[in-house]
Amino acid sequence: MRQNFFWSRLLAFLMLLAVCAGQVYAEDITFGCYTSDKPTTMYGKFNLIMDYLQKQLGSEGINADIKIKIYPSYMKAIDALVKGDCDFVRFGPASYILAKSRNKNIRLLGMEHKNGEKTFKGIFITAKDSPVTSIKELKNRTFAFGSENSTVGRYLSQAELTKAGIRAGDLKSYKYLGRHDKVALAVAAGNYDAGVVKENTYKKYAESKGLRKIGEFLNVTKPWVVRENFDDKLFSALKKALLKLEDKNVLKSLKQHGFLSATDDDYAFVREGMRLSIEFGELP
């Protein structure tokens, strides 16, 4: 007992010395994201930036070990952030809004950008030889969405369809295919009359697979978010590291050009689009 007491007091003393010297000894920090590709691909995608962040925290006197946790679904990742089971995440806009509606105390670290822009486009697509020329002509047609939890692949595209007078019951049929690349390839193969994909996917497959744009809309870039009661010093250090990130190899792995400061207002139009998407309805 006396020996255990001695070692516990010694550890506490050493930690106090470290703090006085400017070191903050943090517990392991967990970064979370949901599966959008194979787990091995996901780990490869985020390992570089986690190494970068860990080094930057070290330069701020924070000794932390960042672990990556990949959740099997959008909702499991949202649940983890809301409940505080992971410390910070990279989400799509819709997932951030859903999480914020459940826990108002989560905070934005920043948002990704390309060429300084906070927005990019979602694209309605059809095959080049299709007679369809606009989304208003999709009545009685088959349609491919992305994930049921995707900002582009569901919420904002359904809001746009609603604006054009197209509801779920007006389509011949529709299906959620899960990923943007699956939508592009399914439309190109003639399995669906039309679909919706993010801008990068359209550019990747438009020429090689014979796709044509019949409509577009804006989406906002991905936010990085921390849980409720996340340590303020860690928050400031992570935010600083993200905003000054210029390493091209790290950014290439994310397919982004950097990070910008973010506020909840940056996601207001997505929140409105999600509200409007409810009017699209769902087929029984």
Mean pLDDT, residues 261-271: 95
Q: Compute the distance between CA of residue 239 and CA of residue 108 in angstroms, rounded to an integer.
A: 9
The pLDDT assigned to 42 comes to 78
Mean pLDDT, residues 29-48: 83
The pTM of this model reads 0.82
What are the φ/ψ torsions at residue 120 (nearest 5 degrees)? -145, 180
The pLDDT assigned to 36 comes to 67
For residue 5, being part of any structural domain is answered with no
Examine the domain organization and report whether 68 and 104 are in the same domain.
yes
Binned at pLDDT 50, 70 and 90, residue 52 comes out as: very high
The pLDDT assigned to 14 comes to 46
Tokens of 226: 């921390």
**CATH number where 82 lies:** 3.40.190.10
User: Is 239 in contact with 109 (CB distance < 8 Å)?
Assistant: yes
- Top-confidence range, 4-18, 21-35, 66-80: 66-80
Indicate if the pLDDT at residue 27 is higher than 80. Answer: no
Q: In which domain, by residue range, is 93 found?
A: 23-116+222-272
In DSSP notation, 46-111 reads: HHHHHHHHHHHHHHTTEE--EEEEEESSHHHHHHHHHHTSSSEEE--HHHHHHHHHH-TT-EEEEE
To the nearest whole percent, how much of the chain has pLDDT over 90?
Answer: 76
Q: Compute the distance between CA of residue 113 and CA of residue 252 in angstroms, rounded to an integer.
A: 12
User: Per-residue pLDDT tens for 71-96?
Assistant: 988 899 999 999 999 999 999 999 99
For residue 155, being part of any structural domain is answered with yes
Q: Using alpha carbons only, how large is the chain's radius of gyration in Å? A: 22
Q: What is the mean pLDDT of the chain?
A: 89
Examine the domain organization and report whether 227 and 102 are in the same domain.
yes
Residue whose C-alpha is closest to residue 154's, from 125, 185, 127, 122: 122
Examine the domain organization and report whether 207 and 243 are in the same domain.
no
For residue 12, being part of any structural domain is answered with no
Binned at pLDDT 50, 70 and 90, residue 64 comes out as: confident
Indicate if the pLDDT at residue 97 is higher than 90. Answer: yes
The pLDDT assigned to 91 comes to 93
User: Is 160 in contact with 217 (CB distance < 8 Å)?
Assistant: yes
Indicate if the pLDDT at residue 47 is higher than 80. Answer: yes
Indicate if the pLDDT at residue 3 is higher than 60. Answer: no
Per DSSP, 36 falls in state: S
Examine the domain organization and report whether 131 and 180 are in the same domain.
yes
User: Per-residue pLDDT tens for 170-224?
Assistant: 999 999 998 899 999 999 999 999 999 999 899 999 999 999 999 999 999 999 9
Tokens of 211: 């796709």
Mean pLDDT, residues 218-238: 95
The pLDDT assigned to 263 comes to 96
190: left (phi over 0), alpha (psi -120 to 50) or beta: left
Examine the domain organization and report whether 34 and 73 are in the same domain.
yes
The pLDDT assigned to 19 comes to 46
For residue 1, being part of any structural domain is answered with no
> Which residue in the block uniquely carries the two structure tokens 């009661």?
229
Which residues, in sequence order, are bridge partners of residue 120? 219
Indicate if the pLDDT at residue 22 is higher than 70. Answer: no
Q: Compute the distance between CA of residue 84 and CA of residue 228 in angstroms, rounded to an integer.
A: 7
For residue 278, being part of any structural domain is answered with no
For residue 202, being part of any structural domain is answered with yes
Examine the domain organization and report whether 228 and 214 are in the same domain.
no
Examine the domain organization and report whether 34 and 87 are in the same domain.
yes
Indicate if the pLDDT at residue 56 is higher than 60. Answer: yes
| Number of domains within the chain | 2
Examine the domain organization and report whether 97 and 57 are in the same domain.
yes
The pLDDT assigned to 10 comes to 46
Instruction: Name all contacts of 77-82 with Cβ < 8 Å and 24+ positions apart.
Output: 77/32, 77/33, 77/34, 78/102, 80/32, 81/32, 81/106, 81/225, 81/227, 82/106
| Domain-ending residue, one of 220, 237, 260 | 220
Cβ atoms within 10 Å of 231's Cβ, excluding its own: 17
Examine the domain organization and report whether 123 and 216 are in the same domain.
yes
Examine the domain organization and report whether 212 and 242 are in the same domain.
no
Mean pLDDT, residues 84-113: 96
For residue 277, being part of any structural domain is answered with no
The pLDDT assigned to 114 comes to 87
User: Is 233 in contact with 227 (CB distance < 8 Å)?
Assistant: no
Examine the domain organization and report whether 204 and 82 are in the same domain.
no
